[in-house]
Amino acid sequence: MGRLGTAVVLLVLAVSGVACEVAPDEPTTDEEAEPVPSLGVTGEEDSSATPPPAPRSRTARVAEVLDGDTIRLASGVRVRLVQIDAPESSGECYGEEAGTALRQLLPVGARVRLERDPALDDVDRHDRRLRYVFRSRTNVNLSLVRSGAASVWFFDGDRGRFARELLAGARTARAQKRGAWGACRARLDPSGAFETHPKLAPAPQAAAGGDCHPSYAGTCLDPSVSDYDCTGGSGNGPAFTGRVRVVGHDEYDLDPNGDGVGCEN
């Protein structure tokens, strides 16, 4: 074989060797999975002629539901469902029920899709990822609001891509007294956290003979009862009352600040 032939063979072998080199696969975690197409609220892809660019999504697996609006992933990452707020599980009205509602939607081991909203923060001050969470075609954030287990919270006034649907869902849930809206006293305030309070107990009936405690007005407190506490407070009764005016000696210590109004909180 001549020199020219030998050179051609060597060149072909060199090119083949480069082409055969393959970069090793990099391992992926729950938070590093390949992006998947983003779906709308109904789960159908946008069929408009010029749809906006879809936010990047990641898939993950649920390890634990921490409360009514926060989950922990199998990777250890905590995710706060963005643009909504649920009652706290520690003592707030409907708090435990809100956690149960999210556990029903996201049981341990459930595969979910996490979607970040480019118009909103990536993480909160507790270093939780702020995400819309989808299970199959269900927008879990929106489902919680529609059921009354959560309300909307547009932190700092920022409104994401599902703000309109979330606000409409909260208004409908409130009107139909679903979830916390029926079980608690609550106000729809998109600019703040969802505050829920126990409903006031009905005013006690007048004592036998029509007698009421002379130190209290606005509500009839039975003077034969050994102790009254404020509804929703830390006392243990045996009787409870809502807000009441204190016009005499505060026998039941319902007005600790002495402003004449008992059980005002």
Q: Is residue 45 part of a domain?
A: no
| pLDDT at residue 29 is higher than 50 | no
Q: Is residue 133 part of a domain?
A: yes
Q: Is residue 46 part of a domain?
A: no
The answer to whether the CB of 179 falls within 8 A of the CB of 205 is no
Residues 97 and 148 in one domain: yes
Instruction: Enumerate the H helices of the chain as residue ranges.
Output: 3-19, 95-105, 140-147, 163-175, 180-183
Residues 143 and 217 in one domain: no
Predicted local confidence at residue 22, as pLDDT = 37
Q: Higher model confidence: residue 264 or residue 146?
A: 146
Q: Higher model confidence: residue 250 or residue 202?
A: 250
The pLDDT of 167-171, averaged and rounded, is 98
The answer to whether the CB of 73 falls within 8 A of the CB of 62 is yes
Task: CATH number of the domain at 137, please.
Answer: 2.40.50.90
Residue 137: domain span: 57-198
Whether this model's pTM surpasses 0.95: no
How large is the C-alpha radius of gyration of the chain?
30
Predicted local confidence at residue 17, as pLDDT = 47
Task: Please provide residue 164's backbone torsions phi and psi, each rounded to the nearest 5 degrees.
Answer: -65, -45
